[in-house]
């Protein structure tokens, strides 16, 4: 039985646009020292806990939505790039996709293990935030690297 779990190919382009928007917003966020006021919103929070306060469930929180927007754009963009089919999806590409996912998982958890052992306090929190994205980043890099390497090999054989 063959499962069709991949998204349509055209969504890969949408993913690159969302990723580019996310990277631009991330650079904007790094370049400014404070968050812009136009991104302040009241949002619904399922769970929230302020520093040294009890946990609150189902509350409304006033927050600057820029971080959430950046994370959403990066996750959606990388996810669409990762899980959209190629123009021609064959067994080699399926094998490369699986191997790249396994490779990215090993590398992601290697970074996580090193972080648990050697990174502390707020730096650890920052590494965990980045680690949310690394499995998709490692997958996209390795998959595209292997695909371009195989295309170059095919060109040299012709």
Residue 78 structure tokens:
């990388």
Strand partners, 42: 62
* CB-CB contact of 3 with 72 (8 Å): no
Residue 1 has pLDDT above 60, yes or no: no
Higher pLDDT, 154 or 86: 86
Give me the pLDDT at residue 3, please: 61
Phi, then psi, of 38 in degrees rounded to 5: -70, -10
Domains of the chain, residue spans: 1-85, 88-158
Residue 69 structure tokens:
């927007």
CA angle 117, 127, 68 (to 5 degrees): 150
- 6-61 residue pLDDT tens: 999 999 999 999 999 999 999 988 888 677 888 899 999 999 988 888 999 999 99
Residue 21, CA distances (Å) to 31, 34, 102, 129 in order: 15, 19, 28, 19
Say what the alpha-carbon torsion angle 71, 126, 57, 44 is, to the nearest 10 degrees. Answer: -30
Strand partners, 64: 40
3-state secondary structure 120-151: CHHHHHHHHHHHHHHHHHHHHHHHHHHHHHHH
Strands (E), the chain: 40-48, 56-64
Map residue 148 onto helix, strand or coil.
Answer: helix
Give me the pLDDT at residue 36, please: 80
């Amino acid at each position: 039985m063959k499962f069709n779990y991949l998204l349509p190919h055209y969504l890969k382009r949408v993913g690159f646009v969302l990723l580019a928007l996310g990277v631009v917003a991330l650079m904007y966020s790094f370049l400014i020292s404070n968050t812009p006021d136009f991104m302040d919103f009241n949002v619904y929070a399922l769970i929230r806990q302020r520093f040294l306060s009890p946990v609150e469930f189902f509350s409304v929180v006033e927050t600057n939505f820029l971080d959430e927007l950046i994370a959403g754009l990066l996750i959606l963009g990388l996810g669409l790039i990762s899980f959209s089919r190629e123009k021609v999806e064959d067994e080699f590409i399926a094998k490369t996709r699986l191997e790249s996912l396994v490779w990215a998982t090993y590398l992601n958890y290697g970074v996580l293990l090193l972080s648990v052992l050697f990174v502390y306090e707020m730096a650890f929190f920052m590494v965990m935030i980045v680690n949310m994205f690394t499995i998709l980043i490692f997958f996209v890099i390795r998959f595209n690297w292997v695909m371009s390497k195989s295309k170059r090999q095919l060109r040299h054989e012709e």
